[in-house]
Amino acid sequence: MARKSFRRMIAKRVINVILTVFGIMILNFCLIHFMPGDPINNVIPRTSKFDPALKWELKEKFHLNASLPEQLGWYLYNTVTLDWGTSYSLSARPVFDIIMTDLRWTLLLVGISTVFTILMGMAVGAYSAYRRGGAFDITATSTSLFFYGMPTFWFAMILQVAFTQPLFGMDWWPRLPSSGYYDTDKLGSELKFTWPIVLSVAKHLILPSMTLAIGFLAGVSLMMRSSLIDTMTDDYILTARAKGLTDYQVLRRHALPNGMPPMVALIAMDIAFVLGGAYQVEYVFNYPGIGYRTIAAIGDLDFPILQFIVVIGGVAVVIANFIADMVLMYIDPRIKIS
Amino acid sequence: MGTKQFTGTSREASATVHLTGSTRLERYRRRTRPARFVFALAMAVFLSVLLVSLAPVACQDEPHVASVAAVLDGPVADAGENLTILVGEKFILNGSGSTGTDLNYTWSILYESRTKTYYGMVVELSFPRPGGSEANLTVTDNSSQTSWDKIDIVINEPPKTFLDKYLTTILFGGILGGIALYILVVVILRLRSGQDVISAARREKTMLAGRRYLVIIKKVLRNPMGLIGVLVLTFFGLLAIFGPYITPYDVKEQHLTETFLMPSKQYWLGTDNKGIDIFSELLYGARTSMLVGTVSAIIASVLGAIVGLYSGYVGGWKDEVVMRLNDVVLSIPWLVLMIIVAAFVGEIDLTGIILIIGLTGWSYTARMVRAQVLSVKERQYVERARAIGSSEMSIIRRHIFPNTFPLIFANTILTVAVSILSESTLSFLGMRPSNEVTWGTMLSFASEASAFQTGRQWWILAPGLCIVVVVLGFTLLGYALDEILNPKLRRR
């Protein structure tokens, strides 16, 4: 019985994912479609001498003369077949190529900062919940809250300045590269898998990933703390203590597993948001990822790029939430049964 | 004497009516019906006045078109005369005065430090924000000889009409007047029908509710996080109210001879790129930033609460549809969504920013309220209310809403913090409200002028710190309220 309902539940979730992705695409189509202006004007040169017949032909080619449902059909077909059109501003490069190139860098940045945050955040949160009200708890919580309330771009700017010059005349102060993704001046603009380039990439990652990680760390550790405190007051923890388990055993075996579910949801949501939205960090550090591209595209009103960034970001959130649901079912069997 | 006797009979009458089955509530409803009608009428009049005042201002005259230039052997560009236009007004750049054979026209227009190129003899444009612009016309003939001409375009703010100036006053006056009228009508009707103005039951209920709120306030103040939050917010709240009146300099007045001054006794934090005192801007920004944060958070919460209550209470396929839509809105990247909404809103002023943040931020609240409604809906008192024949609306109003309200309230406080951050981020990325000073616009101008690199740290640090502290205040208060009002966390 349980198995059957479990299957039905997964099927329902999958249908939800598909519906949501479909909804994102339709909303995206509507938003772009109802933008003011004739899209064909972005492709053809703006002179009055341009042949109207050619313009008509181009419109036919892009299905702009078709009816609205037909256009929607073409849009969905092209999206699914990864034919995402060409950029207006970047000498007509295919949008798919541009987004995939940028996505690599964003994934690298987000991946590193996320791994760091999850490990650090959970450790800090667990320890401050474990020694609640202690010196560590108070310091960690107030520091976290301070970083939590900070505009990310502001913090990024401060870090950028702090690590480009020796602070207060301290010579040993480290200086870190604060712009770009690796040293293109010295090592050439062609990205090769050689030792100096890898090293340079790693160095350029430090500041942006630190900025992202610290902003996100606060959220994770606060959540971990409150979720653990919640479970620590439950009766079975008291039982475990009464059985004579050590504090560490209680924390590791009883409190942590039950404090995890809210964490999984939070982390999934944050990863998804960061994936579509490391805008501020990438913008300040000139890091050529999706976020940087988004802001550049907004400036140039490059709609082909913008609309697929919307799709990519939306799909990332949906999939992350789906995976979080699956993980939650795995670690909390109660969800499976109900 | 007469009135007293009248009251007496009325009470007796009500007692008999009560015995025959008509409830007091029903009679109250019947009595206040005319009051509701009058109130609706007043609101309708007020709304129509509002609509009329929002109607667009009449068009201006046609822009000036080209003059003639002397004929020389090469092509001669003529971009026409300098233009003075209004914000949002469409104008025509006409290069038809240029002479030469078989010309290609290229207009490059510099606006807000960005150049755009248009091809063609005649170009029609409009600018969204006040300021200056330059239009360069380059003409090339078939033997690729070129010539160029430049005109300046001054973009002015449209003249303010009477309604533009006093719109806020009329709006708030209208709302307050409507409320006052409603209260007056209710009081008069009750007095005429011989009821007490405030019934004993109602007085008792209000006092109980007041005592409950007092307990919550006491708990908040006893909680260290809540106390710090309240103190911080009191300080910045007072600053928001009185800040703009105590600024040493006018923040809207530019002194172009005194730009980029370093901190001195005269200007405590120096001056910015327009020669405006940064300290004054800081004081003034408290009001605008907190206004944007609060109002947009309220908009988002109200929208979210309505969607959540509806979706959670109705259930079934309607709930599914609303929640899928909600998922879609929640999944779309936040910044891109705001940009797209901004493109629809058009010119961005403070109201525009508030609307953008408010209209895009409701989906999280909606989801949370729905979850709470789902759990409240199954409680026994709701079932009991349904069993004694309460209407759906009254169940929502009297049972479901009051039980979700604490959650909504705590969440609104947290949303204010997020909204303030959103505003500063939007400003930083270039979507700043025109002609307004907020902490966000200060940061954005400071970073554009690379304040850090030129040794003007305070220009960036001061507004940033203000944002951090205010956001911290709201977050702390929000957490404290959440802890006190949310029964699941109460036991820790």
How many Cβ atoms are within 10 Å of A253's Cβ, its own excluded?
Answer: 11
- CB < 8 Å to A19, chain B: 324
- Say whether B328 and A151 touch across the interface (CB within 8 A): no
Quick: pLDDT tens for A32-84: 777 666 666 666 666 666 777 877 787 777 777 777 888 888 888 888 887 77
**Distance, CA of B277 to chain centre:** 26
For residue A183, give how far its alpha carbon lies from the nearest alpha carbon of chain B (Å): 21
For residue B7, give how far its alpha carbon lies from the nearest alpha carbon of chain A (Å): 57
Confidence of residue A189 (pLDDT cuts 50, 70, 90): low
Residue B11: what residue type? R
Residue B398 half-sphere exposure, CB side, CA atoms within 13 Å? 12
Cβ-nearest to A310 among B336, B424, B429: B336
CA angle A76, B337, A308 (to 5 degrees): 35
Quick: pLDDT tens for A234-283: 788 888 888 888 888 887 888 877 777 777 877 777 776 666 557 888 88
Contact indicator for B254, B280 with CB cutoff of 8 Å = no
Q: Considering only CA atoms, which of B256, B185, B232, B163 is closest in space to residue B37? A: B185
Cβ-nearest to A146 among B417, B430, B468: B468
> Which residues have C-beta within 8 Å of that of residue B337, sequence separation ≥ 6?
A310, B329, B360
pLDDT of B304: 92
Q: First-to-last CA distance in chain B?
A: 61
Alpha-carbon gap, residue B161 to A306, rounded angstroms? 38
β-bridge mates for residue B147, sequence order: B139
Residue A287: what residue type? Y
Alpha-carbon gap, residue A86 to B264, rounded angstroms? 53
Computed over its alpha carbons, how large is the radius of gyration of chain A?
25
Structure tokens at A138: 């108070």
pLDDT of B65: 42
> How far, in Å, are B14, B232, B295, B390, B488 from residue B309 at the CA level?
36, 33, 21, 17, 20
pLDDT of A46: 62
Instruction: Please provide the average confidence, as pLDDT, over all residues in chain A.
Output: 79
> Which residues have C-beta within 8 Å of that of residue A85, sequence separation ≥ 6?
A78, A94, A95, A304
Top residue of A154, A235, A238, A322 to mutate, by most chain B CBs within 10 Å, is A154
* Highest averaged pLDDT of the listed ranges A157-171, A196-210, B178-192: B178-192
CA angle A265, A269, A271 (to 5 degrees): 120
pLDDT values of chain B reduced to their tens digit, one per residue, 492 residues: 444 444 444 444 444 444 444 555 565 555 555 556 666 777 777 676 656 545 443 333 344 444 444 445 677 888 777 878 877 777 888 877 787 777 788 888 877 666 777 877 787 777 777 777 788 888 888 777 888 888 888 787 776 666 666 777 888 899 999 999 999 998 888 888 877 777 788 888 889 889 988 988 898 888 888 899 999 999 999 988 888 888 877 777 777 777 777 777 777 777 777 778 888 888 888 888 999 999 999 999 999 999 988 888 888 888 888 888 888 887 777 777 777 666 666 667 788 888 888 888 888 888 888 888 888 888 888 888 888 888 888 888 888 888 888 888 888 988 898 899 889 988 888 778 877 888 988 888 888 887 777 777 788 888 899 999 999 999 888 888 877 876 554 443
> How far, in Å, are A89, B13, B443, B448 from residue B428 at the CA level?
23, 68, 7, 9
Contact indicator for A276, B337 with CB cutoff of 8 Å = no
What is the rounded average pLDDT of the residues A118-127? Answer: 87
> How far, in Å, are A44, B80, B133, B484 from residue B116 at the CA level?
16, 19, 11, 56
pLDDT of A168: 65
What is the rounded average pLDDT of the residues A279-293? Answer: 85
Beta strand pairing call for B122-125 and B91-94 = antiparallel
Q: Considering only CA atoms, which of B367, B464, B376, B359 is closest in space to residue B411? A: B367
Alpha-carbon gap, residue B475 to B420, rounded angstroms? 11
pLDDT of A123: 87
Cβ-nearest to B464 among A154, A280, A299: A154
Q: First-to-last CA distance in chain A?
A: 11
For residue B150, give how far its alpha carbon lies from the nearest alpha carbon of chain A (Å): 20
Top residue of B142, B332, B444 to mutate, by most chain A CBs within 10 Å, is B332
How many Cβ atoms are within 10 Å of A153's Cβ, its own excluded?
Answer: 23
Contact indicator for B74, B143 with CB cutoff of 8 Å = no
> Which residues have C-beta within 8 Å of that of residue B306, sequence separation ≥ 6?
none
Contact indicator for B181, B38 with CB cutoff of 8 Å = yes
Q: What's the DSSP call for residue B76?
A: B
Q: What share of chain A is helix, strand, coil (3-state, %, to 5)?
A: 75, 0, 25
- CB < 8 Å to B475, chain A: 145, 148-149
Confidence of residue A4 (pLDDT cuts 50, 70, 90): low
Residues in chain B: 492
Cβ-nearest to A145 among B340, B453, B476: B476
Alpha-carbon gap, residue B200 to B208, rounded angstroms? 12
pLDDT of B176: 93
Whose tokens are 């006190």? That residue is: B484
A132: left (phi over 0), alpha (psi -120 to 50) or beta: beta
Contact indicator for B115, B109 with CB cutoff of 8 Å = yes
Contact indicator for B423, B289 with CB cutoff of 8 Å = yes
Residue of A nearest to B453 (CA): A161
pTM above 0.80, yes or no: no
- Say whether A151 and B428 touch across the interface (CB within 8 A): yes
Under DSSP, is residue B91 helix (H, G, I), strand (E, B) or coil? Answer: strand
Structure tokens at A85: 């059109």
pLDDT of B184: 93
Structure tokens at A199: 């090293």
Top residue of B331, B470, B474 to mutate, by most chain A CBs within 10 Å, is B331
CA angle B327, B330, B335 (to 5 degrees): 150
Q: Considering only CA atoms, which of A295, A292, A279 is closest in space to residue A101? A: A292
- CB < 8 Å to A27, chain B: 328-329, 332
CA angle A200, A202, A206 (to 5 degrees): 115
For residue A34, give how far its alpha carbon lies from the nearest alpha carbon of chain B (Å): 9
Chain A contact for B321 (CB, 8 A cutoff) = no
- CB < 8 Å to A20, chain B: 324, 327-328, 331
pLDDT of B233: 92
Contact indicator for B327, B386 with CB cutoff of 8 Å = no
DSSP H helices, B74-196, are: 162-192
Top residue of A19, A144, A153 to mutate, by most chain B CBs within 10 Å, is A153
Structure tokens at B44: 């309708």
For residue B52, give how far its alpha carbon lies from the nearest alpha carbon of chain A (Å): 26
Q: Considering only CA atoms, which of A76, A28, A116 is closest in space to residue A308? A: A28
Contact indicator for B98, B105 with CB cutoff of 8 Å = yes
Q: Is B33 exposed, middle or buried (0-12, 13-18, 19+ CB in 10 A)?
A: exposed
Cβ-nearest to A298 among B334, B339, B452: B339
Confidence of residue A167 (pLDDT cuts 50, 70, 90): low
